[in-house]
Chains A and B, each alone.
Chain A
Amino acid sequence: MTRQIRLYWLFGLAIFALVTSLGLILLNINAELKHQKAEFRDDIVWFGTQLERDAMLFEEALEAVRDAPGQTDLEPVAYRLEVLWSRVSMAEQGELGDAYSTLDGAPQAVARLHQVLETVEAALARPDPDRDGTLRRAVEDLTALRAVLHGVTVEALTVVALNTESRRERFEDLYRTALALLGGAVFAGAVLAGLLFAENASFRSLRRLLEQRVEERTKALRRAKDEAERANRAKSQFLAMISHELRTPLNAIIGFSEVMKQQMFGRLGSPRYGEYADDIHDSGRHLLDLINEVLDLSRIEAGRYRLFEEPVRLVDVVEAAAEMMRSPAVIDERRLEIEVPDTALTLLADRRAIKQILINLLSNAVNYTRPDGRITVRAALDDGGNPVLQVRDDGIGIPDHMLPEVLEPFRRGETPPYLARNAGQGVGLGLAITRALAELHGGAVELNSRQGAGTVVTVRLPRERVIDPLLHPQIASASLAAPTDQARAV
């Protein structure tokens, strides 16, 4: 965590350094450009030369007048005077003049030139008795100034050379600075790239680690699942075997207690023996029922239960199941209602399994309903065309917290009032078997219940199992006549 934060700090600093470096480079360049602009150009050499030239041309014009006494055409002198005036006034003002005046001897030379110009101009302007003398002196002055002006020009050349040199040095400095900053920027960039690379690498290794973990967990889970399935299969096999082994001695117990009940081989000495024989027989039958249930569920779970699919007309099965509930006088006819709107409704299903489902559901309903309660068994198509077997009662219902559990094997109400009603009745396999059989048919069991108001158990089978009597009239009619044999033929 701290390493991560430090990395980000470095990251931020690198970016800061980069931006600062670039900014400094820009500032330096800008400053140098400004300097270049502000710095006076190398014109002072050119100007110095021009000043020398104009002074000489003026001197020549003066000499021409001096050497031709009585000369009246003073125009050339006046013209040269004007031109030299413009030079001199330029040396006395402006940026260029300021730069020129910094040269050694320049201000003095310019001042003397100025003086000469004023003198000559005055001599030309009004009649001067000593005009020739004035012009001669002016020529002498100008001759003397030649060397001075040339010296100034040479110095200007030196100054410009120095300027050029210092400018080159400044540029070299700038270049070095820029190079250093660029190096810094490159370094910052490299650090940045390194950080990104490290970040990426750590992300990659983290991802690899996660992938590895997921893979390990998946393997472990698969192992655990295989283990659990193997254990469940072993349990089912064990139960199936045990149940089978238990049935053999039970048959003996039931058979012989029946013989004793019937007093086939002579009367029992005491009537109590008769009662005991009845108890042994009843208990034995009960035990056999339980074992058969366990065996069924075990077979289903072990994958050994094979559906024997044939056309099954639902109304027949419902009637048969209801009949079975009536026969041992566990329920009287008034309380059991059968609703089968379409008596021709026929499914491709395992007849025994469907009957088992109905009996299981009806037994539960009977067990958990008051003696004057009402039970309805219904077989019909739902809105989606799926066949539905439904048993509804107005009994004590199932509390919400138990709803998810009751479909599991061996789960029953362990508290009153359920406990009392469970006494001596099954082991809690009824709904589990129902669900297993429904699922074998591709269906499902739905449980709706309100404590104290009753329970509705719905077994919904896939609509593909419905046999359309219009499409298969022979099946429908055949199943009416001789269900089992005809179905095999189909």
Chain B
Amino acid sequence: MAWLRFYVVGPMRAKAVPLGMMAALVLWLAAAAVPSRADEELADPVGKVILRIDGAIGRTNRDGAAVFDRAMLEALPSATIVTRTPWTDGETTFEGPLARSVLGLVEAQGTEVWAAALDDFAATIPIDDFERYDVILALKMNGEPMRIRDRGPLWVIYPWSDHPSLITETYHGRSVWQLKSLQVR
């Protein structure tokens, strides 16, 4: 992805492009960087659907939306974040696909996502967050899949321990647990 970053920070003119547009461009490029997927239709989920993405996206697999089961998400490039949170004791290990990979897969074309939870909680997250930080949609906590009672099945996790500047109400609010859907806007 190094050549990709070159486009983001390289030419002077790129700086004049609004951040959102740039993020969209990057996501589009990220999608284009995986040609084997770009040409294919998004696969249909086999297991239980745990995430639904709709809104301004380029690839769908059901009624203008992209739906995922656990296996589809596990197949994406994943990352591990070891961090403290206000809601857990001590250091906790989270693992799951990078948010930008998920959005790249569905060819998201927007500046923000509206993340909704099972308990009807919702938060709006700028897509720029996913570019600047390795934000993940955590599938596992301490190596175990998360049940609803563990605030699963998906939890938006920021790398707080690596970026203490993220330890604010704003980013805690964006850390949506029991995530069920994303709407790209």
Contacts and interface: CB of A to CB of B under 8 A. Distances in A.
Contacts of B147: 82, 85
B169 A93 contact: no
Nearest to B152: A86
Contact of B88 (A50, A82, A85, A93): A93
B151 A90 contact: yes
Interface residues of B, number: 19
Interface centre among A37, A50, A54, A95 (most CB of B within 10 A): A95
A83 interface: yes
A219 to B, nearest CB: 72
Contact of B148 (A37, A50, A82, A90): A82
A54 B177 CA distance: 15
B91 to A, nearest CB: 12
Which DSSP category, helix, strand, loop or mixed, fits chain B's interface? loop
Nearest to B120: A53
A95 B87 contact: yes
A89 interface: yes
Nearest to B92: A94
Nearest to A99: B86
A83 B87 contact: no
Nearest to B118: A83
Contact of A96 (B87, B148, B178): B87
B74 interface: no
B167 to A, nearest CB: 6
B89 A83 contact: no
Contacts of B178: 83, 86
Interface string A80-92: 0111011001100
Which DSSP category, helix, strand, loop or mixed, fits chain A's interface? helix
A217 interface: no
A94 B169 contact: no
B50 to A, nearest CB: 13
A86 B169 contact: no
A97 B87 contact: yes
A100 to B, nearest CB: 11
Interface string B147-159: 1111100000000
Interface string B3-34: 00000000000000000000000000000000
B172 interface: yes
A269 B26 CA distance: 149
A273 interface: no
B40 interface: no
Interface string B169-185: 10010000110000000
A89 B150 contact: yes
Nearest to B86: A95
A79 interface: yes
A90 B87 contact: yes
Contacts of A81: 149
A94 B150 CA distance: 13
Interface in B74-90: 85-89
A94 B86 contact: yes
Given A90-B151, A94-B89, A96-B86, 9 more contacts: A41-B86, A41-B169, A41-B172, A86-B119, A86-B148, A86-B150, A86-B178, A89-B149, A94-B85
**Cβ-closest 9 pairs across A and B:** A85-B149, A82-B148, A95-B86, A94-B87, A86-B149, A93-B89, A82-B149, A94-B88, A86-B151
